[in-house]
Structure 1
């Protein structure tokens, strides 16, 4: 019975690590895409940092990426940047890859 208990603990531990990594990748991705959007809006370095943090916070409004897409698209449009939803989603995809790369490199 001990072998089964050990396997169960190992699976639970792996699941917890995977979930933590997924959360960290998403948070890093949101920061990176916030920096991308801030560059398009020509924000100062201080404004860029604050904006990137606000994008990370926006992700906590609802499950999925729709809240982040909505915020980015709204802010970019309000700033007069010619961007559409497809470009925002493409940036999310690209920054997801970069976020995962950065986190794996840091480990």
Structure 2
């Protein structure tokens, strides 16, 4: 009987881990979208946009909070002569993240969303 309980517990843990990984991947997609949006506004080519997205994702993986990423993008845009509104950038990132989470279905909506 305890073996069955342990198997169910392990299965529940694995489902949780997979859901968390999927939510993180969707959050990464939101950051990529934000980077692409900024690159397009700055007139950066595809290669440069990919490098910029990589920089932002690296910062995310190393613990940078969403608001700090948004502020960095806003500062980068303004340094390039583009007027940037933090609320607009936040909406751009959250829209893409939400679309990905919605596409994943009910398993992705359990627990908290990635809002570090």
TM category (shorter chain) comes to 0.7 to 0.9
Find the aligned partners of 1:39 and 1:31 in 2 and give their Cα distance: 12
Find the aligned partners of 1:39 and 1:93 in 2 and give their Cα distance: 18
- Segments of 5+ residues of structure 1 without an aligned counterpart are none
* Larger CA deviation: 9-18 vs 21-30: 21-30
Query: What is the TM-score of this pair, normalised by structure 1?
Result: 0.82
Q: Displaced runs of 4+ in structure 1, greater than 2 A? A: 60-64, 97-104
- Segments of 5+ residues of structure 2 without an aligned counterpart are 106-116
Deviation, structure 1 residue 12: 0.7
CA RMSD after TM alignment: 2.0
* Larger CA deviation: 54-63 vs 3-12: 54-63
Deviation, structure 1 residue 80: 1.1
Query: What is the TM-score of this pair, normalised by structure 2?
Result: 0.77
Partner residue of 1:84? 85
